Amino acid sequence: MPVGRPRAFDLEQALERALVVFWRRGYEGASLPDLTKAMGINRPSLYAAFGNKEALFRKVIERYAAGHASYIRKALKAPTARQVVERLFRGAVELLTGPHNPPGCLLVHGALACNEETDSVRRELVAQRAAGESAVRERFQRAKAEGDLSADSSPADLARFVATIIQGMAVQAAGGASRKELRRVAKLALQVDLLTDR
Amino acid sequence: MPVGRPRAFDLEQALERALVVFWRRGYEGASLPDLTKAMGINRPSLYAAFGNKEALFRKVIERYAAGHASYIRKALKAPTARQVVERLFRGAVELLTGPHNPPGCLLVHGALACNEETDSVRRELVAQRAAGESAVRERFQRAKAEGDLSADSSPADLARFVATIIQGMAVQAAGGASRKELRRVAKLALQVDLLTDR
DNA sequence: CCCATAGTGTACCATTTGGTATAAAAAGGA
DNA sequence: TCCTTTTTATACCAAATGGTACACTATGGG
């Protein structure tokens, strides 16, 4: 029972379309005309619904983390560290080379070019990536406590290694690497001693 | 014996300063005022000496490949594949976290945000990264022929793996990872079976 | 039926973007 | 000395940027 003229577009759908534009073009590369055209709305509607460009981008990041990148949360539920990593790699490869997505990772490509004003956006993306890495690290710490990872292993180092692989794959995907190629990268990365079942 | 008013700035120095700006800000993030201020020259001087922004950027890439990223060429001269990779990682870590450089890699951060017009710049960077990967792949092919790498190994996969690690480290470095942390990533990556001396 | 409320569309704003026209200035050659 | 050549500095350009004022329109409540 809201009063006033009803919104003529779907919020979720518009957000998803904005997400795709940011994913493809990055924060600064996505212009207002790019966004409004893809979202099918005009500028004042965008500002009324989402605040401004930066606020829209933050909502997009939230959506990305909760949706497209949810493979991370799911992967952490696997019973062993080895399986966690296997699922992380598989999920990453699928996301990064998804035929219906722009190639690459929104969090990696979102903000590379940046002037000092958009620096807060860059920091937000760095924090977002760090959050993912932290979740993996904590999962490895648990694995270590459970004896699933050897006592002399470093959960922090392993988590950073996994994050590095995935971010590297994001760069590779953005450069045109195929799903098959990235799967082979993942296979090699899984040979790292501390992650193998022995 | 050049005729005409002599140039009041040093070409190499100006190019190096432009390189640093592009390195820090990316292609689109580096504005003409950013560049001219850092280079200590004014706009018409820049255009007379380098053509335009894109031409300047291409010269910068050339300089980067020949100078800052020359560790790649040097590393390929190592006697074994294992040592090649060790030197590649060491060189990458030093470059990516050099205290006098912007953190990260110019070729990775150069063009992430991009509209369709600057797409040629993005492709150039992708090609440049691919060239590095190809050089490593060819070195691994030689290693395989020499029996230094096992007969069932894939030089292409290994080269892509190494490139992925380095590009991932570039993202990590841009996000604030320390030299020490990246060295540990490299150490883990070196555990990959096909690269170990057996 | 009218009014308050909220969304839409157009047209605008100042600022910044990459790029240039133009004139003054500094050098060598005749 | 004067003339050609090249660089410098200022001032400008059209286009694009993120953001908004304002009039209009559609809804529900009284």
User: CB under 8 Å to B103, separation ≥6 — which residues?
Assistant: B96, B97, B173, B174, B176
A170 reaches B (C-beta below 8 A): yes
B43 CA to C21 C1' in angstroms comes to: 13
What is the predicted pLDDT for the residue at B198?
Answer: 43
- CA–CA dist B77, B175 (Å, integer): 31
Instruction: Walk along chain A (198 residues) and give the pLDDT tens digit of each residue.
Output: 678 899 999 999 999 999 999 999 999 999 999 999 999 999 999 999 999 999 999 999 999 999 999 999 999 999 999 999 999 999 999 999 999 999 999 999 887 656 677 889 999 999 999 999 999 999 999 999 999 999 999 999 999 999 999 999 999 999 999 999 999 999 999 987 555 544
pTM higher than the cut 0.90? yes
Residue nearest to nucleotide C6 (CA to C1'): A4
Low-confidence ranges of chain B (pLDDT < 50): 197-198
Q: How confident is the model at residue A198, as a pLDDT?
A: 44
**Cβ-based contacts (< 7 Å) between A 20-79 and strand D:** 28, 30-33, 43-44, 47, 52-54
Q: What ipTM does this complex have?
A: 0.94
Do residues A68 and A106 make contact, with C-beta atoms less than 8 angstroms apart?
yes
On whether any CB of chain B is under 8 Å from the CB of A175, the answer is yes
Q: Which of B40, B2, B45, B48 is nearest to B18 (CA)?
A: B40
Please indicate whether, in this complex, the C-beta atoms of B175 and A27 are within 8 angstroms of each other: no
In whole angstroms, give the CA distance from residue B135 to residue B141: 10
Query: For chain A, what's the residue count?
Result: 198
Q: Residue B160 CA to C18 C1' — how many Å?
A: 37
